[in-house]
Amino acid sequence: MNRLANRSILALGVFLLSACTTVDYDFSDVKKSRNSMQQMAQPSGAVNAPRFGDRKPFEWTGRTPWHYPIHGTDVSKYQVDVDWNAVRRSGISFVFIKATEGGDRFDDRFTEHWNGAKQAGIPRSAYHFYYFCRPAIEQARWYIQNVPRDPNALPPVLDMEWNASSPSCKLRPNAVVVRKEMKIFLDAVEKHYGKRPIIYTTVDFFDENDLNQMREYPFWLRSTAGHPTEKYGPHPWTFWQYTGTGTIPGIKGDADINVFAGSAGAWKKWLESNKVR
């Protein structure tokens, strides 16, 4: 073929490839993210567009989890011997770590995970699992007693979900009481850490307690069988937990995987806005 024909074919190929792209990445952020991968101790970095395995993958339609460039995980005492450097290299950009439950339970591996994630340069947050048979203020004090006040950490998280397996508490307060108690906890924690806390919840708990009324808080929503807009309607969200059966290098067994709602650039701005100076 002559030179002109070769150029025409090359141009057509580039056009077809661009037409197949479904993810609208900001490539200026991609370049910065790749550089930050090489600087493992810099927690402000984000790894671009990771794809993780899943033991029980869901057939997503519409906007998929990997459309979002910023992925993270959450851990508790059930994740043992985590290789946090491997986790970071795999594409994890943040982690939520269980710290406390109720007014007297402290996660056995919180300190190990908290320190390990920091050393690997992964931004991290501590979450509290709410117990419905103890006053909210007591639970807030317990959380404050056990979670360090780190100005660079992500905001605290309040985990609100029904716990049918609890051997000691079967109480299910009405929605008005639930939201009132949540507000007591959230206010106390925000005052101490100087950051607006995040609310984690599930579809059933969100609906039954009309948490749509608490839009002033950032939400971390669980939805493993559909995009949050399919399960929570137009309610705004900051984090989305999309699987509990993911596979992440450095973590043994099943892993929860989450995404941040925005671009890599938005993630960096969000991190900066949540630092206490």
Catalytic residue, from 26, 83, 150, 161: name it: 161
Res 260: pLDDT: 98
Is 208 in the active site? no
Q: Domains plus CATH for the chain?
A: 3-273 (3.20.20.80)
Is 181 in the active site? no
pLDDT digits (tens, 9 = 90+) for 113-169: 999 999 999 999 999 999 999 999 999 999 999 999 999 999 999 999 999 888 899
Dihedral over alpha carbons 102, 107, 111, 116 (to 10 degrees):
-120
CA gap 54, 226 in Å, rounded? 15
Catalytic residue, from 29, 54, 74, 112: name it: 74
pLDDT digits (tens, 9 = 90+) for 181-225: 999 999 999 999 999 999 999 999 999 999 999 999 999 999 999
**193 burial level (CB within 10 Å; 0-12, 13-18, 19+):** buried
Res 50: pLDDT: 78
Return the amino acid letter for 244. Answer: G
